[in-house]
């Protein structure tokens, strides 16, 4: 009997493998053009097999492709497939193959309607949910619904949103609001501060403390506002990946706070926002702070951008809860940097090139195809690295940190000659014997994993200091006014950062930012990527990229498919 059961199971597995191979052949056009992947088909096959146990389920090729696209959404940052924009998902198809990829929504919706055991409506629990013109994974749909419900409950009276570009005074405004709140008297509100990353949380704590002092708040209020250092959102929620439930705080156990302030909210994915909002008690106030024009989260969703879109809809409950700060303080309002940032944010290619070609002192455009211009830039970056090595031997820690922030190369990519690895290898090579050891004096390093024991967060940048003979080698991290030195023997998961990615630079600023764009068309090349790089500069900006690359970036905003803005 046992042998018969084993044989039947083996036959069933063989049949499934053959069916999967057959489906790969049928969908070859979509695979060859990278519209979908073999992994998408394998995942969809599992769901189809489960549905077949309930009843007849034979999806058409178009239904297969639609389900595979929904499974692909998490890789592309979308929360759904929007059939009103379906042409974007088939952009990689050749002109001849577009006959197999309808440009209108009707054929897709008809194909999905034929598999009701797999695709349900908003009120059903199915693997896929079709809500109007959008196809979701069931989990993504339920999270989006929950986010909208919490943000708009009690007529959105417990939610406030503070939006603004870099240097517009968002933290100053947060400090002002908190000071007013704590000076009202009575019972002090239970406050907590958080951000998506450890680096952003650390900077939030430091800057908020400084802004409270700048506004002459009483020592008691400053102490109350900064009593608890900002944490990552995962830390706030008590995340433990190997435990069930993974989060200590949630709908079953709300956070014990009256007011929750979240900085750098543009970096929040839909999943993280869902977990955060689920953990808020109905009476807890939420203040979201961020720049919707910067890079969105690495994972799926563009929650802050969706919230910002509701500011333009007077029928949205959130419209009156949003304040937008526009006055720029990071760089001079009449600077070329400000003009370029505005042009990029607005998608104004003509104005952007007018600024780039003006050849002003604070802005330089280097075409990587111009070897003379590129070599001059390489020499400048090398001289900065050489100066950092010399300062690390002779100067104090605070001066070394200031020196490091005088110039920073920011790359779109890690790989390639014009990526992070290429620039770091190039500069280390030019330093020669000065960079002959792992922990050479002046080596700029970035932490790539949180280390609470050392008070270091993923993304923190420091510099290795020189040591006298017999002394231990240390690296210094922090700001010039508040820093700590750590023996390099205790440092783990660090990398050299003569250059770092634009993504990793979010929340930082440099006297001279060198923004290096890809040499060819890249999927990560977007308006938000360029805008984020441009706005890291305080006094001087260098853009490295061809005319076509810069134009492509400005004309390609991130368009993540989502239904959240509509629900709000």
Q: What is the pLDDT of residue 13?
A: 53
Q: Between these two residues, 554 and 11, which has the higher pLDDT value? A: 554
Residue 538 scores a pLDDT above 60: yes
- 176-183 mean pLDDT: 86
Q: What is the pLDDT of residue 347?
A: 95
- 260-289 mean pLDDT: 94
Q: What is the pLDDT of residue 17?
A: 52
Residue 514 scores a pLDDT above 70: yes
Class of domain 336-555: alpha beta
Which neighbouring-strand residues pair with 193? 261
Average pLDDT score over the chain: 88
- 530-542 mean pLDDT: 94
Report the C-alpha gap between 324 and 309 in whole angstroms.
Answer: 12
- 491-505 mean pLDDT: 92
Which neighbouring-strand residues pair with 323? 162
CATH 1.10.10.1020 is right for the domain spanning 1-136: yes
Place of tokens 């189809």: 48
Residue 277 scores a pLDDT above 90: yes
Strand pairing class (444-447; 494-496): antiparallel
Confidence of residue 46 (pLDDT cuts 50, 70, 90): very high
Report which of 390, 383, 325, 368 is spatially closest to residue 171, judged by C-alpha positions: 325
Q: What is the pLDDT of residue 11?
A: 47
Cβ-contact 258, 191 below 8 angstroms? yes
Q: Taking CA 464 as the corner, what is the angle to CA 462 and CA 468, rounded to the nearest 5 degrees? A: 150
- 321-337 mean pLDDT: 84
- 40-63 mean pLDDT: 91
- 371-396 mean pLDDT: 93
Q: What is the pLDDT of residue 382?
A: 96
Q: Between these two residues, 215 and 192, which has the higher pLDDT value? A: 192
Q: What is the pLDDT of residue 453?
A: 85
Residue 368 scores a pLDDT above 80: yes
Q: What is the pLDDT of residue 243?
A: 85
Which neighbouring-strand residues pair with 479? 482
User: What is the side-by-side order of every strand in the sheet holding 499-501?
Assistant: 363-366, 537-544, 510-516, 407-411, 499-501
**Sequence-separated (6 or more) residues with CB below 8 Å from residue 486:** 454, 456, 462, 474, 475, 476, 477
At 348, list the tokens.
Answer: 């104004």
Residue 25 scores a pLDDT above 90: no
- 446-472 mean pLDDT: 84
Cβ-contact 164, 170 below 8 angstroms? yes
Residue 3 scores a pLDDT above 60: no
Report the C-alpha gap between 235 and 287 in whole angstroms.
Answer: 18
Whether this model's pTM surpasses 0.85:
yes
Return the exposure string of 387-399: e unless at least 16 CB atoms fall within 10 Å of the residue's CB, then b. Answer: ebbebbeebebee
Residue 412 scores a pLDDT above 50: yes
130-157 tens-digit pLDDT: 999 999 999 999 999 999 999 999 999 9
At 383, list the tokens.
Answer: 């001289």
What is the CA 347 to chain-centroid distance, rounded?
20
Report the C-alpha gap between 173 and 158 in whole angstroms.
Answer: 18
Break the chain down into helix, strand, coil percent, rounded to 5.
45, 15, 35
- 475-499 mean pLDDT: 87
Cβ-contact 511, 540 below 8 angstroms? yes
Confidence of residue 185 (pLDDT cuts 50, 70, 90): confident
Q: Between these two residues, 339 and 167, which has the higher pLDDT value? A: 339
Residue 500 scores a pLDDT above 80: yes
413-423 tens-digit pLDDT: 998 899 999 99
Q: What is the pLDDT of residue 346?
A: 94
The CATH 3.40.50.300 portion of the chain extends over 153-329, 336-555
Q: What percent of the chain has pLDDT over 90?
A: 56
Question: 153-329, what's its fold?
Answer: Rossmann fold (3.40.50)
Q: What is the pLDDT of residue 472?
A: 84
Report the C-alpha gap between 547 and 129 in whole angstroms.
Answer: 42
Residue 22 scores a pLDDT above 60: no
Q: What is the pLDDT of residue 537?
A: 93
């Amino acid at each position: 009997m046992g042998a018969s059961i084993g044989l039947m199971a083996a036959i069933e597995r063989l049949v499934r493998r053959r069916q999967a191979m057959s489906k790969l052949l049928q969908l070859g056009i979509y695979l060859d053009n990278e519209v979908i992947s073999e992994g998408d088909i394998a995942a969809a096959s599992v769901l189809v097999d489960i549905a077949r146990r309930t009843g007849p389920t034979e999806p058409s090729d178009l239904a297969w492709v639609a389900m595979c696209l929904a499974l692909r959404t998490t890789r592309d940052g979308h929360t759904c497939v929007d059939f009103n924009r379906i042409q974007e998902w088939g952009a990689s198809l050749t002109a001849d193959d577009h006959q197999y990829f309808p440009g209108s929504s009707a054929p897709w919706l008809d194909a999905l309607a034929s598999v009701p055991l797999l695709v349900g409506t908003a009120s059903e629990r199915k693997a896929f949910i079709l809500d109007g013109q959008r196809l979701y994974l069931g989990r993504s749909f339920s999270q989006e619904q929950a986010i909208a419900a919490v943000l708009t409950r009690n007529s959105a009276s417990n939610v406030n949103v503070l939006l603004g570009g870099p240097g517009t005074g968002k933290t100053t405004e947060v400090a002002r609001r908190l000071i007013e709140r704590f000076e009202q008297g009575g019972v002090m509100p239970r406050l907590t501060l958080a951000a998506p990353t450890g680096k952003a949380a650390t900077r939030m704590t430091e800057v908020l403390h400084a802004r409270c002092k700048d506004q002459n708040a009483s020592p008691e209020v400053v102490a109350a506002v900064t009593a608890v250092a900002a944490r990552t959102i995962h830390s706030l929620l008590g995340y433990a990946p190997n435990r069930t439930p993974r989060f200590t705080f949630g709908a079953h156990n709300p956070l014990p706070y009256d007011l929750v302030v979240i900085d750098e909210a543009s970096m929040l994915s839909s999943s993280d926002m869902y977990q955060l909002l689920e953990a808020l008690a109905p009476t807890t106030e939420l203040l979201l702070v961020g720049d919707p024009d910067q890079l969105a989260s690495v994972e799926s969703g563009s929650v802050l951008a969706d919230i910002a879109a509701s500011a333009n809809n007077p029928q949205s409950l959130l419209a009156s809860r949003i304040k937008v700060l526009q006055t720029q303080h990071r760089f001079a309002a009449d600077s070329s940097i400000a003009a370029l940032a505005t042009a990029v944010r607005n998608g104004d290619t003509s104005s952007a090139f007018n600024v780039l070609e003006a050849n002003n002192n604070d802005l330089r455009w280097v075409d990587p195809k111009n070897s003379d211009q590129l070599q001059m830039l390489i020499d400048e970056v090398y001289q900065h690295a050489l100066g950092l090595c010399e300062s690390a031997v002779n100067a104090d820690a605070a001066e070394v940190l200031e020196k490091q922030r005088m110039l920073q190369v920011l790359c779109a990519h890690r790989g390639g000659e014009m990526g992070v690895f290429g620039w770091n290898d190039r500069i280390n090579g030019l330093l020669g014997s000065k960079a002959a050891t792992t922990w050479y004096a002046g080596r700029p390093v970035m932490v790539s994993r949180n280390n609470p024991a050392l008070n270091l967060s993923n993304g923190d940048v420091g510099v290795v200091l020189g040591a006298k003979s017999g002394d231990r080698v240390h690296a210094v991290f922090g700001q010039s006014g508040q820093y700590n030195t750590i023996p390099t023997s205790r440092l783990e998961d660090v990398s050299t950062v003569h250059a770092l990615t634009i993504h990793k630079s979010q929340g930082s600023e440099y006297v001279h930012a060198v923004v290096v764009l890809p040499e060819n068309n890249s999927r990560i090349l977007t308006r938000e990527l360029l805008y984020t790089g441009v706005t890291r500069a305080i006094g001087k900006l260098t853009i490295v990229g061809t005319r076509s690359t810069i134009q492509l970036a400005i004309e390609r905003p991130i368009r993540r498919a989502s239904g959240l803005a509509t629900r709000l």
